[in-house]
């Protein structure tokens, strides 16, 4: 029987989700469908994964329009379904799937799933020439149809909560699952503290311990079990018992042990929660409970990071499909160095599978080597801070440094994480950490320098706010001469500043003050921390992810409220000073219809008119069905002198002529967030430890054995940095640096260079806006037209 395939010159692209569901899959499908339409192609969805391919027909392979995916950003799971399909594993099933795609007129297929799903997709493409030839040879399709659909292009996006795909830094859904885990452990920690209990928490991760490792760092767990670094058969009970007993003896009331579901010992024997429970309750006599989180980790709406990642990857997947040729290997859309990239799909899958093979062969060094560098760094960091309460030998502490920690600027999520990790890592290395309370003003007014202890730090990793206080005043405003005198009094050998633009200015003032004040001739590092993400020299600041999630949740609730009243829009005022970063990312994560940012200048009347017409058309298209609400995001400083949010809302309502009404919504300091997000916690740890290592590298005790430090200081070996001469002060420039995130890499850049090349001091902004391209994507996916 000859197929009646649709024959059109317009390219038809289908998207499907397969394997285990992951938060963010809906955002990925939404972006793919709308980008397909924007690229003047026909968009299809395949329902129920590979099962839908095999069953076929309009019930399972559906053409969809723009409105089909409306509201999907804030929905968990996958709305087009996913299912296991044994038939597709057989050639006969794939032959049926081939015919069904041809009948639907599909030219290309985008698959969002894990390694198993993507392996199936690549196999399907490799077999396609023989499958379609068989359909032609058996007269199921005509020669014309055969020539029309001779090649099938396939592209993969990775949806997996385990973050186990090689060649990409993050998979869709992984950070959402981590967020669920950390929230659950935060709750568990509260009840554990009440009863001084121990909890054994099982998390997902059959062949990958990423979730367990990151959760261990983010919640300050006492012990973790991961497959990449298996426990020693005859000693893990002793090791865990020693650590837990020591933590308890040093003042910790709770015990948290995290077990990945794929946890094993070095003989590949599974380590279960029951075995861990037996040791904690039997040997250590702790009141112990087991919590298996299970599918809670998969559920719920996606966090902001996954919504943004899934959206950007969806757009790239469509462009990759359109640009694909028959001789180009199937691409996998990855994220590397904070950039969306394309990698060969089959190579990525093969590399991922080789990790499991290495573990099965007991080649654990190889398994660890196949993980990215950041994974190994995080594991070392966890082990270091977890041992920070050990009593160190006197000869080590004598070589330690006095390291000051100060917060400058507004509070930001992750500040406590940075202080916690700085302190615990310093203690593990034999240094003496000192908190400078309430910024430079607190230092000058109250000499507020106090040593930090391990017991004092318990619980800080997951606390919001800023426990040591913060202040916006710079050293000059507080009194730079007094600051120098107090640095000298407390014999500080190094300084870590955590904060935003005021912190950047402070570091520059300390660098400039080295000519006059020998006390400033010490290595100093700035860890950027501000919800505005406006610090030059970095693409990421601590607190920006926490703020983005807080704003996203607020907008989700507001949008729900708007949808409950027919034809209503909310104008949400977003913080960020002269930076539109938070506004832009929230716009993408929430699907805001319009966003205004300071970088684009004043809001023009022509653009406002076009946006009002766009809103009117959107409400008209919806026709009141399924409830419908719209968001307009306005950065506070966007047209600050002309428009505030209330005025803008009134103008929108007036000019809508009854098509809709608008209300202002001002989240204010809600945007600073409550508890820091797992991203801010774990990145805070990574940044803090790197900062301490920088101080160690260029500290006075390392001059003798450090060639770089010797060259920088150009002093006699071992000479104190607190020298009284001004010789070679210029050689110290590199020792006052900003620790910036550029892609997935951390880079130290001297403050002088950042001030000279990348800072707009008047606008308090970096000159290079690394996120500007996201605005175009955000507008395209809601159909906003620019004047």
Q: In the numeric block, which tokens belong to residue 263?
A: 């946890």
164 catalytic per annotation: no
12, 64 in Cβ contact below 8 A? no
Judged on CB neighbours under 10 Å (0-12, 13-18, 19+), 450 is middle
Q: Dihedral through CA 213, CA 215, CA 217, CA 220, nearest 10?
A: -130
Per residue, what are the HEC states of 299-348? CCCCCHHHHHHHHHHHHHHHHHHHHCCCCCCCEEEEEECCEEEEEEHHHH
User: What is the sign of the dihedral through the CA atoms of 603, 604, 610 and 612?
Assistant: positive
| Residue with token string 């367990």 | 212
**Measured between alpha carbons, how far is 277 from 292 in angstroms, rounded to an integer?**
12
**Measured between alpha carbons, how far is 284 from 244 in angstroms, rounded to an integer?**
9
DSSP 252: -
**Measured between alpha carbons, how far is 213 from 233 in angstroms, rounded to an integer?**
20
Cα angle 167, 172, 176; round to 5? 130
- In the three-class reduction of DSSP (H, G, I as helix; E, B as strand; rest coil), residue 19 is classed as coil
543, 529 in Cβ contact below 8 A? yes
Q: 193: closest CA among 147, 153, 248?
A: 248
**b or e along 278-309 (b: 16 or more beta carbons within 10 Å of the residue's beta carbon)?**
ebbeeeeebebbbbebeeebbebbbbbbbbbb
Number of CB atoms found within 10 A of residue 326's CB: 11
Between the CA of residue 175 and those of 130, 303, 593, 682, 737, what are the distances in Å? 40, 7, 26, 11, 30
**Measured between alpha carbons, how far is 373 from 691 in angstroms, rounded to an integer?**
18
Backbone angles phi, psi at 240, to 5 degrees: -60, -40
Type and span of the H or E element at 665: strand 661-665
691, 426 in Cβ contact below 8 A? no
**Measured between alpha carbons, how far is 312 from 309 in angstroms, rounded to an integer?**
5
**Measured between alpha carbons, how far is 69 from 757 in angstroms, rounded to an integer?**
43
**Measured between alpha carbons, how far is 546 from 36 in angstroms, rounded to an integer?**
32
List helix spans (H) across 345-479: 345-360, 364-370, 373-386, 394-397, 415-428, 439-446, 454-457, 475-478
Q: Dihedral through CA 553, CA 559, CA 565, CA 571, nearest 10?
A: 110
- Of the candidates 162, 164, 179, 545, the residue annotated as catalytic is 162
Which residues carry out catalysis?
162
């Amino acid at each position: 029987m000859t197929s009646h395939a649709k024959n059109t010159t317009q390219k038809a692209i289908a998207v499907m989700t397969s394997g285990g569901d992951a938060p963010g899959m809906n955002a990925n499908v939404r972006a793919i469908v709308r980008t397909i339409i924007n690229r003047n192609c026909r968009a299809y969805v395949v329902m129920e994964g590979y099962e839908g391919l095999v069953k076929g027909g309009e019930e399972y392979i559906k053409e969809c329009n723009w409105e089909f995916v409306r509201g999907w950003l804030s929905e968990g799971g996958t709305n087009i379904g996913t299912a296991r399909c044994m038939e597709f594993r057989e050639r006969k099933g794939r032959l049926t799937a081939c015919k069904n795609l041809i009948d639907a007129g599909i030219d290309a297929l985008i698959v969002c799933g894990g390694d198993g799903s993507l392996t199936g997709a690549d196999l399907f493409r490799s077999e396609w020439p023989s499958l379609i030839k068989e359909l032609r040879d058996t007269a199921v399709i005509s020669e014309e149809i055969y020539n029309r659909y001779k090649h099938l292009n396939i592209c993969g996006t990775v949806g997996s909560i385990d973050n186990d795909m090689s060649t990409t830094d993050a998979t869709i859904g992984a950070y959402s699952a981590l967020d669920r885990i950390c929230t659950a452990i935060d709750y568990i920690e509260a009840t554990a503290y009440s009863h001084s209990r121990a909890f054994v928490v099982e998390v997902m991760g059959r062949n990958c311990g990423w979730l367990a490792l990151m959760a261990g760092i983010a919640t300050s767990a006492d012990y973790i079990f991961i497959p990449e670094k298996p426990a020693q058969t005859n000693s893990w009970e002793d090791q865990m018992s020693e650590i837990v007993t020591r933590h308890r003896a040093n003042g910790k009331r709770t015990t948290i042990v995290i077990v990945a579901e794929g946890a094993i010992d070095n003989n590949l024997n599974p380590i279960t929660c029951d075995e861990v429970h037996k040791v904690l309750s039997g040997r250590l006599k702790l009141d112990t409970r087991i919590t298996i989180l299970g599918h809670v980790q998969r559920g719920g709406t996606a966090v902001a990071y996954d919504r943004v990642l899934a959206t950007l990857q969806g757009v790239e997947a469509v462009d990759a499909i359109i640009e694909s040729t028959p001789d180009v290997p199937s691409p996998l859309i990855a994220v590397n160095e904070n950039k969306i990239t394309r990698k060969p799909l089959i190579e990525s899958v093969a590399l991922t599978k080789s990790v499991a093979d290495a573990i099965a062969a007991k080649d654990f060094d190889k398994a660890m080597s196949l993980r990215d560098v950041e994974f190994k760094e995080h594991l070392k960091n966890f082990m270091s801070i977890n041992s920070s309460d050990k009593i160190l030998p006197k000869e080590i502490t004598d070589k330690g440094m006095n390291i000051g920690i100060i917060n400058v600027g507004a509070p930001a999520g992750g500040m406590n994480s940075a202080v916690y990790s700085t302190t615990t890592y310093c203690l593990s290395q034999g240094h003496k950490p000192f908190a400078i309370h309430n910024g430079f003003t607190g230092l000058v007014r109250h000499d507020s320098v106090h040593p930090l202890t391990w017991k004092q730090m318990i619980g800080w990793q997951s606390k919001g706010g800023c426990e040591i206080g913060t202040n916006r005043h710079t050293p000059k405003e507080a009194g730079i001469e007094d600051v120098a005198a107090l640095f000298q009094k407390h014999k500080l050998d190094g300084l870590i500043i955590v904060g935003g633009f005021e912190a950047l200015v402070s570091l520059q003032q300390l660098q400039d003050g080295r000519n006059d004040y020998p006390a400033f001739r010490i290595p100093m590092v700035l860890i950027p921390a501000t919800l505005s993400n406006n610090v030059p020299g970095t693409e990421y600041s601590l607190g920006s992810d926490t703020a983005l999630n807080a704003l996203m949740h607020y907008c989700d609730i507001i949008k729900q409220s708007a949808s409950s009243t027919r034809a209503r829009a909310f104008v949400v005022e977003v913080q960020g000073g002269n930076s539109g970063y938070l506004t832009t990312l929230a716009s993408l994560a929430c699907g805001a219809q319009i966003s205004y940012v300071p970088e684009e200048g004043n809001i023009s009347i022509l653009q406002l008119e076009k946006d009002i017409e766009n809103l009117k058309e959107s409400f008209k298209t919806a026709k009141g069905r399924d409830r419908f609400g719209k968001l307009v995001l306005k950065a506070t400083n966007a047209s600050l002198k002309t428009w505030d949010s209330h005025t803008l809302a009134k103008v929108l309502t007036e000019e809508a002529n009854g098509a809709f009404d608008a209300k202002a919504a001002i989240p204010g300091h809600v945007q600073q967030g409550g508890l820091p997000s797992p991203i801010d916690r774990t990145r805070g740890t990574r940044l803090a430890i790197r900062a301490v290592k920088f101080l160690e590298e260029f500290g006075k005790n390392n001059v003798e054995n450090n060639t770089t430090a010797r060259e920088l200081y150009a002093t006699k070996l071992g000479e104190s940095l607190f020298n009284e001469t001004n010789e070679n002060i210029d050689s110290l420039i590199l020792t006052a640096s900003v620790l910036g995130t550029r892609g997935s890499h951390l880079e130290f850049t001297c403050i002088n260079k950042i001030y000279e090349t990348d800072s707009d001091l008047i606008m308090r902004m970096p000159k290079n806006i690394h996120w500007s391209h996201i605005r175009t994507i955000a507008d395209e996916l809601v159909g906003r037209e620019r004047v």
